[in-house]
Structure formats: C-alpha cells, structure tokens
Amino acid sequence: MCLKCRASEAFAVKATSRRNFLRSVGGAAAGFALTPSVFAKGNKASPKPQNDVPPDAALQRLMKGNDRYVAGVTRRHDFKTEREALVGGQNPYAGILGCADSRIAPEYAFDTGRGDLFVCRVAGNFANDDTIASLEYASAILNTPLFLVLGHEACGAVSATIKSLKDNTTLPGHLPSLVSNLAPAVNATKDQPGDPLANATRRNVIDNVAKLKSATPILSAAVEQGKLKIVGGIYRLGDGKVELIG
C-alpha cells in the first residue's frame, strides 16, 4: 500500500474513533443531566435525627444557640459520641457562609456540636463559584434546610476594599480578587450616611443572600419549593450577638 493510501486509512480510523468517543461522552453527559436520581438521597437513617427539621425550625434553633453563647451558658457537647454517630454520614441542620476572620467561629457562636453546621469561610463572606457549589452539595445531597450568610463588625476584607477603591490602588498578591468580589457592596453604599464600613458590610450580606437565592438551578429551586431558607446576619464582636438582616 502506498504512503498516501496508508495516511488516508489512518485518518479514517481516527475520525471514526473520535465520533464514537463523542457519542459516548455526549450520551453520558445527557444521562447525567436528565437522570433525576443524580441527587437522590439514600434511605438509611440520619446520623443525627434531631437535625431533620424544616427551615423555620432550623433558624429558631440556630438563634437559640446564639442566645446561649451570648449569655455564656453554652452546652457541654459529647464529641466522642458525636464522632461515632457521624462516621457513616452527615445531616447538618444549617449551612453558614462566613468570613475567615479568626474571631468569628460559627460552631461556637451558635453553640453547636459536630455535624450540625456545614461551614464555608472566605475573607469577606461572599458567594463565588466554589462556595455556591459547596452549598449546592449541602442542599441537594445533605438536605440542609437553612443557609446563613454571616458578616461581622470591623471586617478587614471590606475595610481593605474600601481603602483600595478610595485610593485607587492595587493590593498585592491575590488580594485583588477579594476587592473585585466586595467592590459592588462598597460602591453601592459609598454615598450613604453613616459608617462606610458598617454600611458596606451590611450591603455585602444582603447582596450575597440574594445571590444564593437566585443561584440556578439547585438553590433557587430549593428556595422556591420551600425546602431551603436563606437569611443574612451580622456578628457583633463585643458580645457575640448575631443580628438577622435581609
């Protein structure tokens, strides 16, 4: 066989293989997208049955925990027993999108045990693709009924964004990514009366609550069906009280 014929035959084989590969990938993708069992839950018992509550009850429970924390009468948690119960799975009753600030620990602030909270933390407590994906997992797979976007007083990330935008400077390293995510809240409140940092912090929480509520297709559908409640809050550094907003 001549070299030209061999080349033509090799090209035909590659083209056929590529078409078959695309068909298989396309079929798998379509099956994944259309199969309703992708996010199906198992029938096994919940590791913490007390966490299987509706959204409003979850919020009430969360805030009662914060009341105990503020009053200094937190419960004693049996971590050993909780560890054993959670080996086979988890069913947190609330998800928290909080700031990475070391002074705000949601598990303490709401007096919770292991397996109670599904926590995502990033400086400035904003929703990006990664945090939204994580919370989608909590909603769709773990059936978590409540999400709280938790901002706090004197947030360094918001303060740095205010200064960066005011001075028109670029922060070093990867810090500009924080600025770009927090800039909408800062710009929306820059002409408001009162404390610029408090105003921007509050607006950032409200904006990210709205962002999570409208995140399609998973979170928006869960909210619409009444399976998920999403609220915002501000943590006060002085006494640890969480004020609900939005």
What pLDDT was estimated at residue 82? 82
Statement: residue 129 has pLDDT above 60: yes
Q: Which range scores top for mean pLDDT: 40-44, 83-87, 221-225?
A: 221-225
**Is residue 190 within 8 Å of 230, Cβ to Cβ?**
no
Where do the structural domains in the chain lie, given as residue ranges? 49-245
What does 84-138 look like in DSSP terms, one character per residue?
Answer: HHTTT----SEEEEE---TT--HHHHTT--TTSEEEEE-TT----HHHHHHHHHH
- Cα angle at 125 between 202 and 230, to 5 degrees? 75
CB 198 within 8 A of CB 176: no
Mean pLDDT value across residues 28-32: 33
Beta strands in 129-241 (DSSP E): 146-152, 229-235
Residues 21-33: b if buried by 16+ CB within 10 A, e if exposed? eeeeeeeeeeeee
What is the pLDDT confidence band of residue 246, given thresholds at 50, 70 and 90?
Answer: low
Stretch (H or E) spanning 245:
strand 242-245
pLDDT of res. 67 = 98
Which pLDDT belongs to residue 24?
38
What percentage of the chain carries pLDDT values higher than 70? Answer: 82
Average pLDDT, the chain: 86
Residue 106 has pLDDT above 80, yes or no: yes
Which of 172, 171, 155 has the alpha carbon at shortest distance from 234? Answer: 155
User: What's the whole-number mean pLDDT along residues 133-154?
Assistant: 98
Judge whether residue 8 has pLDDT over 70. Answer: no
* Structure confidence by residue, pLDDT tens digits, 47-88: 999 999 999 999 999 999 999 999 999 998 888 888 888 999
Task: Give every CB contact of residue 106 below 8 A, 6+ residues apart in sequence.
Answer: 96, 98, 112, 117, 119, 150
Which CATH class, in words, describes the domain spanning 49-245? alpha beta
Q: Could you report the per-residue pLDDT of 159-206, keeping only the tens digit for each?
A: 999 999 999 999 999 999 999 999 999 999 999 999 999 999 999 999
Distance in angstroms (rounded) separating the CA atoms of residues 58 and 140: 17
DSSP per position, 52-90: ---HHHHHHHHHHHHHHHHHT-PPPP-HHHHHHHTTT--
What is the per-residue DSSP string for 8-32? HHHHHHHHHHHHHHHHHHHHHHHHH
Is the full-model pTM beyond 0.85? no
In DSSP terms, which residues pair with 229 in a beta bridge? 146
Dihedrals phi, psi of 224, to nearest 5 degrees = -60, -35
